[in-house]
Amino acid sequence: MDYNKSYLVISVGLWTGIVVGIIGALIEIGLIVYISIILMLGSLVQAFIFYKCPNCKKPFNIRGKKPKYCPECGCALE
Protein backbone atom coordinates (compact mmCIF):
# COMPACT_ATOMS: atom_id res chain seq x y z
CA MET A 1 0.00 0.00 0.00
CA ASP A 2 1.37 3.45 -0.88
CA TYR A 3 0.76 6.76 0.85
CA ASN A 4 -1.99 7.76 -1.61
CA LYS A 5 -4.11 4.72 -0.80
CA SER A 6 -3.25 5.11 2.86
CA TYR A 7 -4.51 8.71 2.81
CA LEU A 8 -7.75 7.55 1.19
CA VAL A 9 -8.18 4.86 3.86
CA ILE A 10 -7.66 7.44 6.64
CA SER A 11 -10.25 9.86 5.29
CA VAL A 12 -12.82 7.21 4.38
CA GLY A 13 -12.17 5.09 7.49
CA LEU A 14 -12.33 7.96 9.95
CA TRP A 15 -15.47 9.53 8.53
CA THR A 16 -17.22 6.19 8.13
CA GLY A 17 -16.19 5.36 11.70
CA ILE A 18 -17.58 8.65 13.03
CA VAL A 19 -20.88 8.29 11.16
CA VAL A 20 -21.30 4.63 12.13
CA GLY A 21 -20.40 5.48 15.74
CA ILE A 22 -23.03 8.23 15.91
CA ILE A 23 -25.66 5.92 14.41
CA GLY A 24 -24.71 3.17 16.86
CA ALA A 25 -24.94 5.60 19.79
CA LEU A 26 -28.31 6.94 18.62
CA ILE A 27 -29.91 3.54 18.22
CA GLU A 28 -28.04 2.32 21.32
CA ILE A 29 -26.41 -0.75 19.89
CA GLY A 30 -23.02 -1.15 21.55
CA LEU A 31 -21.70 -3.57 18.92
CA ILE A 32 -22.03 -0.90 16.21
CA VAL A 33 -20.14 1.57 18.39
CA TYR A 34 -17.34 -0.98 18.89
CA ILE A 35 -17.16 -1.59 15.14
CA SER A 36 -16.84 2.15 14.51
CA ILE A 37 -14.03 2.41 17.09
CA ILE A 38 -12.18 -0.50 15.48
CA LEU A 39 -12.68 1.13 12.07
CA MET A 40 -11.21 4.43 13.28
CA LEU A 41 -8.32 2.78 15.13
CA GLY A 42 -7.63 0.57 12.12
CA SER A 43 -7.40 3.51 9.75
CA LEU A 44 -5.08 5.34 12.16
CA VAL A 45 -2.82 2.33 12.65
CA GLN A 46 -2.43 1.73 8.92
CA ALA A 47 -1.67 5.45 8.53
CA PHE A 48 1.23 5.18 10.97
CA ILE A 49 2.59 2.26 8.93
CA PHE A 50 1.93 3.38 5.36
CA TYR A 51 1.35 7.16 5.29
CA LYS A 52 4.92 8.33 4.76
CA CYS A 53 7.23 9.74 2.12
CA PRO A 54 8.06 7.17 -0.59
CA ASN A 55 11.52 8.73 -0.88
CA CYS A 56 12.82 9.33 2.67
CA LYS A 57 10.21 7.30 4.62
CA LYS A 58 9.45 10.24 6.89
CA PRO A 59 5.84 9.97 8.20
CA PHE A 60 3.46 12.73 7.12
CA ASN A 61 1.17 14.61 9.47
CA ILE A 62 -2.10 12.67 9.30
CA ARG A 63 -4.09 15.61 10.67
CA GLY A 64 -3.20 17.93 7.82
CA LYS A 65 -3.97 17.79 4.13
CA LYS A 66 -1.90 15.58 1.89
CA PRO A 67 1.28 17.57 1.11
CA LYS A 68 2.38 18.34 -2.47
CA TYR A 69 6.01 18.09 -1.47
CA CYS A 70 7.60 16.10 1.29
CA PRO A 71 8.29 18.53 4.17
CA GLU A 72 11.45 16.60 4.99
CA CYS A 73 13.28 15.88 1.73
CA GLY A 74 11.34 18.10 -0.70
CA CYS A 75 10.45 15.14 -2.92
CA ALA A 76 7.49 16.02 -5.24
CA LEU A 77 4.41 13.95 -4.42
CA GLU A 78 1.58 13.11 -6.80
Would you tell me which residues interact with Zn ion (CB under 5 A)? 53, 55-56, 70, 72-73, 75
Bridge partners (DSSP) of residue 59 are 52
Q: How far is the CB of 49 from Zn ion (least distance, A)?
A: 16
> Could you give the maximum distance between any two Cα atoms of the chain, in Å?
48
Q: Are the C-beta atoms of residues 50 and 2 closer than 8 Å to each other?
A: yes
Q: How far is the CB of 51 from Zn ion (least distance, A)?
A: 12
11 vs 55 by CB, closer to Zn ion: 55
CB of 32 or CB of 75, closer to Zn ion: 75
Identify any residues that bridge with 69 across adjacent strands, giving them in sequence order: 76
- Quickly count helices (H) and strands (E) in the chain: 2, 0
- Rounded least distance, CB 57 to Zn ion, Å: 7
Closer to Zn ion at the Cβ: 27 or 76? 76
